[in-house]
Each structure stands twice: as structure tokens, then as C-alpha cells.
Structure 1
Amino acid sequence: MVVSLALLAGTLARFGTQAAELRVGNLATTYWVLSGLLWAGWMVALHAYRSRDPRIAGMGTDEYKRVANAAFAVTAGIVLASFVLQFDIARGYFAFVLPAGAAGLICSRWTVRQWLNRQRQRGRFLSRVVVLGRPKDVRYVTHQIAAKSGAAYKVVGVATTGKPRSSLDVDGVRLPVVADAEHVVDAVTNLGADAVIVAGPTKGGSRYVQELGWKLEESAVQLILTTGLTNVAGPRIHSRPVEGLPLMHVELPQYAGGKHLLKRAMDVVLSGFALLVLIPVFLVLALLVRRDSPGPVLFRQERVGRGGEVFEMLKFRSMVQTAEDDLAGLLDRNEGSGLLFKMQHDPRVTDVGRWMRKYSLDELPQLWNVFLGHMSLVGPRPPLPREVAQYGDRVHRRLYIKPGLTGMWQINGRSELNWKDGVRLDLYYVENWSVAGDLIILWRTAKMLLRPVGAY
């Protein structure tokens, strides 16, 4: 329907209701015929790129990428056909139909995804799964499924290896152990499950997994394997079979090069534009801070950037002028975890500061830090020097790229996250970031400003 509307609108906008002629060599046809052929080609491209695969419906950016790739394929096909058959397409028609159709498809998929996610949060349209593996692996996979609001799975039972048991406790919920590794197929059939998730290594190794797949062939039950690469994103994993030997190639993170130059260019352009546009907002906030409590408008604090470089981070002052001196007397009331100090009702926060913090307006001056190159628009949370002094070797990897104005920490609960989860998210970003991922984080940040979570 979306493609049909785009083609109809493009034809009417460019030619009206008349049957505009299009000559292909010695053959005369109309743009209505071309639109029909283009519609059919677009449907084939969407099918060829498997954009309607139920396994990706509502699951993330992969669905949008497939829709976009189909649009690019259609565009390339038209250009190639016009060159080979030597016919010219009206530029206005061409420039309207393809972008409008692609944008419409992506927007429609996004709309359906929002609806589907809401339904899944209510327990509807979920795939019923049985998780198979060692108890600790089963607990981890089940915990991750429960923690992700967009997860498309409902665990209806577990199959554990090792010592027989009747149930398994996962985050305070007792899940029934429905079978052992040898009888999991019978349990899946009895439960009417849609998939079996193999969590980690199993006794028998690849041979057991192969035989399990054979047993599931006669049903519509899917077999899903976890890789164990918990901090590696999908785009970094490539399957490369060599003479029947399935090899998994994992790309190593790169901390320099063209991608980082593109990231820096995006930082300069977007932060520079935002600084110009937000000048009136800066003036109003500065006036409110000045009138609310004595002290400077801007709060300057040393933070640690890429490679351990210390820089002065800017924020609108949201606390009383003596906040740093008052910190020692509040340490015993710390509600944060790990190395972070957080209090939901911090007495040092001013009235205006509390309102600014809720909507992250106090952090807007960091756009200047981004413009200067101390920070990036997206990255790990900028740490204090005293935090970095207590980092372990693993946590030091957070300093491999520039800290961000926003990032995984901010869009996943902020202060409601514990220290361990915050580090895990930051390390995941450091090793798997991409320009497309940054744009998605910026979009989700904008949504979070309207419905703030964990901001205090």
C-alpha cells in the first residue's frame, strides 16, 4: 500500500491525470505502465532481501536496513534499465517516487514495530521457547530475555544438563525444568514451543547440536544457538564456510581510521549547528541559574577523556556553589553503586537545577566540549579522575574513545543502572560503535528527554 501510494502520488504530482508518454526505443508506453512495473519490481526486491522475515519483524535496525537495501536495488535497477534500453525518466518523477516510497516503508515498519513492542510487553505475540544448557548458562540467557523489553521470546521451560532438578531459580522466578538434554524434543512437542535456545556449550558438542537439529526438522520448531560472544555486536560477526567447515570471523575493534574521521565530522557539524540554534535557550537557562542561587552560571569540572587526557567539562550549575565541599558529608548516604555517587534527593541540588537535570538541560554546554574535540556526541559516560584511578584493566577500555554527551548509559536507565551494567554497556559501545548506531542513540536520547528515566 505504501509503495502504491508513493507511485500514485509521484505520477499525479508530475503529470496530473493525463497518460504521460514514455518512449523506450521505438516502443511508446505511459508512466502508468512504468509505475506498475516499478511496483512489481519493488515487491520482488523486498521479498529478495527478506524484509518480511518473521525473525526480524520488530526486532531492530536490521529490518530497516533490508527495506533500505531493497530501495537501493530498485534505484540501481532503474538506472541500469534506462542506460541499457536508452530511455529517459522524468527527473521529478524519479526524485519523488523512490525517496517517498523508501521513507514511507521505513516509517510504516517503525509504526508497526512500536505497536508490536507494546503488545509484547503485555505478553502477546511472543515466541514460546525452551532454553537448554548448563544451569548458569540458562540463567544468563533467561535473565537477558527477561531484561529486554523488546525481546520476542517467552521462556516456557528449561532443559538443564548435569544433576536432575525440578525447577531453576532465575531472578526470583522458578522456571520448570521440563527435560534433560536427551528428551528436550519430546518436551518441546508437549509444550507447543516455537524454538529451542541452546545456551552455551553442551555435552556432546557440535555433534549433539547437529543431531538435535535433525530431530527438530520434522516440526516448525527453530533451533537458536548463542555464540557466547556477549560483548560482540552482530555486524562484527561473519560466517565464512570453507569446504564444509563453518568458520566464524569476528572483526576486531578499530580505534582510528576513516570511521573515526566521519564520527568527528558529524560531531563538528551537529554540535556547531546546535550551538547556534540553542543560543536563546542558553540565555534563558543562564538567567534562571543566576537568579535561583548565588554562584557562577557554568560549572566546570575535570573529566578524563580519550587516552586518559584530562579536560574541563562544562555544565550549567545545578547545585549550590559549595557542592564539592559538601560531598564528604553525604558519602554515607550514597545511593549509587560502584565508583558512582548518586542521591535521588541530593540536598545540594537547587530548584532550577532539579528541573534542568530531569530533562538533561544542564548538560547542553557540553556541546562546546564536543565542538572542541574533548568529547563526542555519543560515547561512554565521561568519568572523574578519582573514578579512573580505581579502574581495573578491563574498565580502562572505556578510555579508548572519546566520552559522549549521550550514550548507552543514558538511554538505558542512567542512574537506575548499577555500576556493573553501566560498565558493560560502555564497553559494548566502545567495541561495537557505528555511525548508524550513533544516529539511533541520538534519536533515542531525544525520546528520553520527553520521558526521562533515572535522571536526578
Structure 2
Amino acid sequence: MSLVLADVAALVVGVALAFATQAIVRPVPTFVIVDHLWLAASSAPAFALGAGMSRLYHSRANERPLEEAVNIFKAVGTGMSWLLLVSLGVQYQELSRLWVALVGIGVTGCLLVERRIARSVFRRLRSDGRLRRRIVIVGTDEHAIALMHDYQRNPSLGYEVIGLAAVDGAPSCDEVEPLGTVDDLSRVLDDHDAVGVVVSLASVPSARVNTLTRRLTDEGYHVALSSSLRDIDVSRLRPQSMDGRTLIYVEPIIRNGWRGIAKRVFDLVLASAILLASLPLQLVAAAAIKSTSRGPIFFRQVRVGKDGELFEVVKYRTMVIDAEERKAELMSLNEADGPLFKMKSDPRVTPVGRILRKLSIDELPQLFCVLVGTMSMVGPRPALPEEVEQWDDEVSERLRALPGLTGMWQVSGRSDSSFETYKRMDLYYVDNWSLFHDLQICSRTVAVVLRGRGAA
């Protein structure tokens, strides 16, 4: 109900903005304003109908911001179509085309902003333990346990796993005692006020999945089937039917041709623009480094690039000159897991270097690497050779793309993230690359840098 009221408020504000803009750009007589107001009011049920038809209040149909935006466009389109039909039916001659356009733009814009705020509020409430839906995971195999941990690590998803349901013949679990078996799953769900299940397909035979899904959905429970697919964006998945069987087709990612050219042009234009705009700031940074500590202005280091090729990365020096030699004595204080090395209060960082890192100014010389083609504006983090030596075959897949000045890992958590998160996000980026994703990551990078979050 709160979301409905927020949508109504956004609708009213959008129409009000249309009237205000009309008054400034092209004023109309008062009686025309009154007629337009009645026309807008009579179209309100159509906007509500459009919201219902586009499933704007079904959370699972609006999980992704882009999906929600499309549903908003559909709802507004329904309302605006009705508005035009009514004006045509009553042969209203005074209808302002400018006002119609302003209403469409104003309502759409206000709904998009309002839904973005609502998403943020819901995410915060869920993280605080509110607005959560209780679910049971069917299965006790390794995949089921991983699912449980994923939900526990991400409370903002809005789900609370109350336990597991065991399957006869499936691998047992010593970590968690199952709440019951699949046979008495309905009782378990009812006893714990759960709304649905997530089925680990690795645990449940295919014939039993069908029976279980039919039974639970008939009883009013929600059912989600978790496959072993990872790092594949859902927008690439297409359900297909073959003789009653459900298939999932995975759209391929095309990185060459015009898409590859577009990415390279994007890199060159953005890197050149940032270099020119930041030149005065870089001169100040260089002078501060030179005047406050011994050693060169730039720090150079060999990193591993696309297809395993080595290249030299260049940054502004933020540490003392013997930082690499002192790294061994600090390994016991490493706060990162896996092959990464991170310290929030690294004693090797100079006072000026700490400021440069906080504002990400130390990264700016890497723009030259983008210009020469050894790096991209967006991509996986450029890894050290000794890190790559510790990777398994799965992590090495990230070397299929150029390393980036920024990336999903950096904007989602940066140095605060675990190695598992770092690995999964970089693989997700490589497996689902698109120029649209690059634009999204670049826009999020600006916000992260301005907040100074996660820089180390």
C-alpha cells in the first residue's frame, strides 16, 4: 500500500510539473487549465490499469531496475493512450499537444525517481531485518549450502533462509540440521510461516522436481529452481519449450566487430577527456609527491593483461620507496583473503599518498595505459603475476578481457570486498560484457570516488 501511495504522489507531482512548465513556456486561459485538469483526473483509472497490466506491483517482475523502467513506460503509455482517446471521443479542440508531452515526460520521470528512492528504502529496511520473506532451501548438497550462505551474506535481497529440507539419496550436510524432508515440506513451510522454497536442482531428481513444483504452487507457495549456472546475466537467458520440456537458451556475448570498435572509441574519447580535465590536478599531485617524500613521482609495476600478456602499469607513487621490500614483514597483518594483500592502515603509505588514494587521484596515470591499448576504462582489475600464479582455471577466465581502470569489483566494494566477491564480479563482467554495462559502471565509479568509499 505504501508503494501505491508513493506512485500516486509521483503521478500527481508529474502532472503538476506539466501544468507549471506549460504556464512558463506557453500560458493558456484558466478554463483550458480546468479542462486539462479534468482530463488528467479522468485518466487516473487508466494509469492504475496500466500499472496492473504491466505488473508494476509484482516484485519478481521488477527485480532489475531496467525491468521496472520498462514496466513504468508501459503503465504511462496506457494512461496517456486513454487520455488521448478521451479527448478524441469528446472532440476536445483545446487540447495542448505541449501539455500532453509534458504530462508523459513528467509522470514518467517522477515515477522513475520515486521507484529508485523506494528501492533504496526497501534495501535498507531489508538489511535491517525488516520486510523479509521466509524461505526453505530444498537440498543439502554443496550447492544448497552455498545458496544459504549467499542469502545470509545479502540480506538486502529480502529473504530469510529458515533452514534446509533433506532429499532421500542426496548428499547429507553436517553443517546444518535439516528441518525435515521433502515429503513433509508443506508442514515445514506452514510451521515456520515460510512463503516458498528454492530448490537446488543438484539435489532433487528431475521427475521429483516436477511433482514438487506442481504440489507447492498449487498450495500457494512460491518456487524458485536454482541451476548450476553462475555469472550469466539473466537478460541473456531465454526459456524455450521442446515437447513439454523446459530449455534455457543462453544468448552469446559478441565482443568483436562493431562492438569491439565502439568499446575502443569509448575508451579513447573518455580517457582523453579525463586526462585533459584533470591535468591541473595531476600537476598539483605530482608537486605534492615530489616535495613531501623521497623517490620518483610515478610508481611502475608489471601486471598481467589480456590473454596473460604482461604490461607495465603506471600510478602516482603513494608509498615510501622501499614499500615492496617491506611487504614481506607485513604479510601477517594482511586483511584480505586469497592472493590479495590489503591493509586499511598500511604504514608504507605516505600522508600525501593517503589523500591521493582516498580521492583515487593516484589511478589517473593509468589513462595512458588506456590510450596505448594495454588497459580499458572498464574491465577486470589488473592482477599481479604472483596473484595469477595462485588462480585456478575458473579465475583465469577473466584474462579474456583487457584489465580496466575501473570495474564491477571496484564500484561494488573495492578494497572492502573478499576475494570470492572479487572473483565472481570480474567473471560476471567478462561473461556478460556490453557497452551499456561499461556506461553503468563508469557512472557508478563517479559516485564511489566522490564518496571515497573503499579506497585503500
Q: Could you tell me the TM-score, scaled by structure 2's length?
A: 0.83
- How far, CA to CA, are the matches of 1:103 and 1:373 in structure 2? 38
Q: Deviation of residue 217 (structure 1)?
A: 3.6
Q: Is the 8 A contact 1:253 1:432 kept in 2?
A: yes
- State the shift of 1:6 in Å: 1.6
Give the alignment partner of residue 113 of structure 1, picking from 106, 119, 124.
Answer: 119
Q: Deviations over 1:132-174 (max 9, x none)?
A: 11332321110111112422110112112248999863xxxx5
Counterpart secondary structure, 1:192: coil
Which residue does 1:14 correspond to in 2?
A: 22
2:123 corresponds to 1:103? no
Q: Residue 355 of structure 1 aligns with which residue?
A: 355
Deviation readout 1:249-301 (Å, 9 max, x if unpaired):
01233332344344334333433333333333323322322222123323233
2:319, 2:128 → 1: CA distance? 40
Q: State how 1:211-290 maps to structure 2 within 5 Å.
A: 211-290=211-290
Q: Which amino acid aligns with 1:272?
A: S
The whole-number CA distance in structure 1 between the counterparts of 2:355 and 2:251 is 43
The answer to whether residue 52 in structure 2 is matched with residue 47 in structure 1 is: yes
The 2-side partners of 1:12 and 1:334 are apart by 58
Offset at 1:214? 2.9
* Deviation at residue 184 of structure 1 after TM alignment: 0.8
> Could you list the per-position Cα deviations for residues 183-228 of structure 1 after superposition, in whole angstroms to 9, with x for gaps in the alignment?
111211121111111122344x233222223322443321111122
Letter in 2 for 1:136: E
Q: How does 1:78-97 map to 2 (within 5 A)?
A: 92-93=98-99, 96-97=102-103
Is the CA contact 1:263–1:435 (under 8 Å) kept in the aligned structure 2?
A: yes
Give the stretch that moved more between structures: 144-153 or 3-12.
Answer: 3-12
Kept in 1, the 8 Å contact 2:359–2:449? The answer is: yes
1:51-90 paired onto structure 2 within 5 Å: 51-56=56-61, 59-67=63-71, 69-70=73-74, 73=77
Q: Is the 8 A contact 2:286 2:297 kept in 1?
A: yes
8 Å Cα contact 1:51-1:66 kept in structure 2: no
How far apart, CA to CA, are the structure 2 residues paired with 1:104 and 1:94?
A: 15
1:165–1:177: 8 Å Cα contact kept in structure 2?
A: no
From the superposition, tell whether residues 145 and 108 of structure 1 become closer, same or farther in structure 2 (CA, over 3 Å). Answer: same
CA gap 1:19/1:274 in 2 versus in 1, 3 angstroms? farther
Q: Which amino acid aligns with 2:59?
A: P
Offset at residue 111 of structure 1 (A): 0.8
**1:315 matched to which residue of 2?**
315
**Matched position secondary structure for 1:455:** coil
How far apart are the structure 2 equivalents of 1:95 and 1:260?
A: 37
One-letter code aligned to 1:147:
R
Q: Distance in 2 between matches of 1:36 and 1:257?
A: 51
Preserved contact between residue 134 and residue 162 of structure 1 (Cα < 8 Å): no
Q: Distance in 1 between matches of 2:412 and 2:199?
A: 27
Q: What code does the residue aligned with 1:158 have? A: L
The CA distance in 2 between the partners of 1:193 and 1:439, in whole Å, is: 39
Q: Structure 1 residues 104 and 298 mapped into 2: Cα distance closer, same or farther (>3 Å)? A: farther
**Equivalent in 147, 158, 182 of residue 152 of structure 1:** 158
| Corresponding residue for residue 301 of structure 2 | 301
Secondary structure of the residue aligned to 2:431 is helix
Number of the residue aligned with 2:179: 178
Structure 1 residues 212-221 or 146-155, which shifts more? 212-221
Q: Which residue pairs with 2:415 in the alignment?
A: 415
- The residue identity in structure 2 corresponding to 1:55 is R
Kept after mapping to 2: 8 A contact 1:71/1:102: no
- The one-letter code of the counterpart of 1:51 is L
Q: How many residues align?
A: 442
Aligned counterpart, 1:188: 189
Q: How does 1:324-343 map to 2 (within 5 A)?
A: 324-327=324-327, 334-343=334-343
> What letter is aligned with 2:433?
W
Q: Which residue of 1 aligns with 2:131?
A: 125
Partner AA of 1:159 in structure 2: A
- Residue 139 of structure 1 corresponds to 145
Q: Is 1:396 paired with 2:402?
A: no
Q: Distance in 1 between matches of 2:187 and 2:98?
A: 60
Match of 1:198 in 2: 199
SS in 1 for 2:425: helix
- Residues 397-425 of structure 1: CA deviation (Å, up to 9, x unaligned): 21212211121221343334444442232
Identity %: 33
Whole-Å separation in 2 of the counterparts to 1:188 and 1:111: 33
2:430 — aligned with what? 430
Gaps of 5+ in 1: 23-28
Matches within 5 A, 1:1-40: 1-15=9-23, 16=27, 18=29, 31-32=36-37, 35-36=40-41
- In the alignment, structure 2 segments of 5+ residues that lack a partner are 1-8
**Aligned twin of 1:26:** none
* Rounded Cα–Cα distance in structure 2 between residues aligned with 1:142 and 1:21: 60
Contact (CA 8 Å) 1:168, 1:177: kept in 2 or not? no
**Greater helix fraction, Structure 1 or Structure 2:** 2
How many Å apart are 1:368 and its aligned residue? 3.7
In structure 2, distance between residues paired with 1:163 and 1:209: 14
Q: Cα offset for 1:107?
A: 1.3
SS of alignment partner, residue 319 of structure 1: coil
Distance 1:218 1:96 in 2: 46
RMSD of equivalent CA atoms: 3.7
Judge conservation of contact 2:32–2:94 (CA < 8 Å) in 1. Answer: no
Q: Is the 8 A contact 2:139 2:170 kept in 1?
A: no
| Worse overlay, 101-110 or 372-381 | 372-381
